[in-house]
Amino acid sequence: MKSRLLDPLSEEARAIVSRPWEAAVRRARAERPGTPVVGVFPVFIPFEIVRASGALPLALFGGGGEVEVARADARFQSFVCSIAKTTLELGLRGDLSGLDALLFGSICDVARNLSSVFARNFSPKLHVDYIHYPQNPASPAALDWFEAELGRVLGGLAARFGKKPDEAALEEAIARQDRVRAEIRALYELRREAPARLPTFELYALLRLATALPAEEAAAVLEEARLALTAREVPARDAVRVVVEGAFCEQPPIELIRQMEEAGLAIVDDDFQVGARLFGEVPRGPERPLRRIARAFLENSVRSSVHRPAGAARPERLIERVRAARAEGVVLMAAKFCEPALLDQVLYRRALEAAKIPHLRLEFEEKQWTFERVRSEVETFVESFLFD
Ligand code: SF4
């Protein structure tokens, strides 16, 4: 299914959305020869660290529906999420040979194991590193510790690429990435106010594009889309406003998102590709830039099942998001075998029931080809509002 918004975009942009490890790397090599490309799984890592090392970050969300798992099964237990298997499959097939480094964040045991499997199979040709997040972000020691951890990762990348990162490089990376995040926030705001004008399957594709482009190009693409969308004429449409929660790592097929919307939902807030808008602006001020990035990560970042900054608990924060988005319901949408998301559903359901907020639970896989069952579940959910 073609996105109307992407229609005017080039074939290359479509290829970047569906096969970024190939199309985005080819583009980077052609347009910025000599610039290293660093894969980031799956973007719970401040891109600034990669940019300050002189490299281009590239969000790696597995193989999506593009990869058949043949070799990776032998390295994992059966009950593991698809994104881990298809990411490894890409590596084993040689499809990630265009990457100079690959970073993982400590989001779950599966990501930790995947990082080790990559290090064992592909180091030293591929620089592989694993960022540890503080176990207790509220601890007074967390800021010092995380700043040092980011510095360690940056130092590793810089050594690999023969660079000497300085504060000016970090400041520039912050400014560029802040602009991208500001554009993403503006698009999310636009979608929340007028979901018919910017359906989520289009917003999703735009974000996917932005996570695979250099920051200045990503900001320009998003700004251009925002200006075009603001002027877009669309007929009014009745739909149930919902928040989607749980799809923060493995991503559903875009077609699944489109089917949900066609079945009568207006998604007005979500956690798709949430790492791309992990935090708001990095605070200004006299602190070192790395410390300010660490501070933004710990104090002002989104909350998810695999990222728990200090502050209100996740269920309470979900209820707040529902109210802020003026949503009528919630779709709890977890990837198959994603333990962090599935475990949190118990907490979310309890909180939503207490707050009398209707919710629907959907399970998905990145490699999903049929959508009839999901569509009929969504239609039943939507009808429940009509007859309530
Ligand atoms: S989908 Fe879930 S289990 Fe799999 S790597 Fe991501 S967070 Fe971990």
Handedness of CA 59, 63, 66, 71 (dihedral sign): positive
Using the atom order of ligand 1, give the atom closest to the CA of residue 42: 6
Task: Indicate whether residue 43 lines ligand 1 (CB < 6 A).
Answer: no
- List the strands of the sheet with 240-245, edge to edge: 265-269, 240-245, 329-335, 359-364
Ligand 1 centre from 105 Cα, in Å?
Answer: 11
Ligand 1 centre from 173 Cα, in Å?
Answer: 28
Per-residue confidence (pLDDT) for residue 278, from 0 to 100: 85
Per-residue confidence (pLDDT) for residue 386, from 0 to 100: 82
Residue of the CA atom closest to atom 2 of ligand 1? 338
Using the atom order of ligand 1, give the atom closest to the CA of residue 249: 6
Task: Indicate whether residue 81 lines ligand 1 (CB < 6 A).
Answer: yes
Task: Indicate whether residue 84 lines ligand 1 (CB < 6 A).
Answer: yes
Using the atom order of ligand 1, give the atom closest to the CA of residue 81: 4
Using the atom order of ligand 1, give the atom closest to the CA of residue 306: 7
What does the alpha-carbon distance between residue 151 and residue 298 come to, in Å, rounded to a whole number? 15
Distances (CA, A) of 206 to 221, 297, 337: 8, 23, 27
- Give the DSSP H/E element, type plus range, for residue 4: none
Per-residue confidence (pLDDT) for residue 8, from 0 to 100: 47
Contact indicator for 362, 263 with CB cutoff of 8 Å: no
Ligand 1 centre from 279 Cα, in Å?
Answer: 20
φ and ψ at 344, to 5 degrees?
-70, -25
Tens digit of pLDDT at every position of the chain (388 positions): 333 344 545 788 889 999 999 999 999 999 999 999 999 998 789 999 999 999 999 999 999 989 999 999 888 888 899 999 999 999 999 999 999 999 999 999 999 999 999 999 999 999 999 999 998 888 999 999 999 999 999 999 999 999 988 899 999 999 999 999 999 999 999 999 999 999 999 999 999 999 999 999 999 999 999 999 999 998 888 999 999 999 999 999 999 999 999 999 999 999 999 988 888 889 999 999 999 999 999 998 888 888 877 777 889 999 999 999 999 999 999 999 999 999 999 999 999 999 999 999 999 999 888 999 999 999 999 999 987 6
Task: Indicate whether residue 92 lines ligand 1 (CB < 6 A).
Answer: no
For the chain, report the end-to-end CA distance as a whole number of angstroms. Answer: 33
Contact indicator for 51, 215 with CB cutoff of 8 Å: yes
Q: What is the dihedral of CA 180, 147, 294, 91, to 10 degrees?
A: 50
Of 25, 243, 268, 253, nearest in space to 126 by CA: 25
Of 259, 273, 260, nearest in space to 222 by CA: 273
Residue of the CA atom closest to atom 6 of ligand 1? 249
What does the alpha-carbon distance between residue 266 and residue 274 come to, in Å, rounded to a whole number? 18
Predicted TM-score (pTM) above 0.85 = yes
Task: Indicate whether residue 83 lines ligand 1 (CB < 6 A).
Answer: yes
CA 366 to mean position of chain CA atoms: 14
Per-residue confidence (pLDDT) for residue 189, from 0 to 100: 97
Number of H helices, E strands in the chain: 14, 8
Per-residue confidence (pLDDT) for residue 65, from 0 to 100: 86
Task: Indicate whether residue 80 lines ligand 1 (CB < 6 A).
Answer: no
φ and ψ at 329, to 5 degrees?
-160, 180
Structure tokens, 69? 């798992």
**Residues in contact with 285: Cβ distance below 8 Å, sequence separation at least 6, in sequence order:** 292
Task: Indicate whether residue 110 lines ligand 1 (CB < 6 A).
Answer: yes
**CB hemisphere CA count around 18 (13 angstroms):** 16
Per-residue confidence (pLDDT) for residue 280, from 0 to 100: 85
What does the alpha-carbon distance between residue 202 and residue 209 come to, in Å, rounded to a whole number? 11
Phi-psi region of 35 (alpha: psi -120 to 50; beta: other; left: phi over 0): beta
**Residues in contact with 209: Cβ distance below 8 Å, sequence separation at least 6, in sequence order:** 9, 13, 16, 17, 218, 221
Structure tokens, 279? 């935090």
- List the strands of the sheet with 37-41, edge to edge: 56-59, 37-41, 101-105, 127-131
Altogether, the residues listed in the chain come to a count of 388
Ligand 1 centre from 225 Cα, in Å?
Answer: 31
For 297, other C-beta atoms within 10 Å of its C-beta total: 25
Task: Indicate whether residue 339 lines ligand 1 (CB < 6 A).
Answer: yes
Handedness of CA 369, 373, 376, 382 (dihedral sign): negative
Pocket mutation for ligand 1, best pick of 45, 85, 86, 108 (most atoms within 8 Å of C-beta): 108
**Residues in contact with 22: Cβ distance below 8 Å, sequence separation at least 6, in sequence order:** 15, 95, 98
